[in-house]
Amino acid sequence: MSFKLKTSRQTEEIFNQIEASEKLPWPTLMRLALSLSIRQGPLMEIELYSDSLGKELNRPTITGDADSLYKCLIELQEGRHIPDEEYFPTYVKGHLERGARLLEQEKKYSRDLLVHLTELDKGL
Q: Which domain holds residue 59?
A: 4-123
Domain at 84, CATH number: 1.10.1220.160
* Domains of the chain: total: 1
Integer Cα distance of 68 and 24 in angstroms: 24
Confidence of residue 49 (pLDDT cuts 50, 70, 90): confident
pLDDT digit string (tens) for 50-89? Answer: 899 999 999 999 999 999 999 999 999 999 999 999 999 9
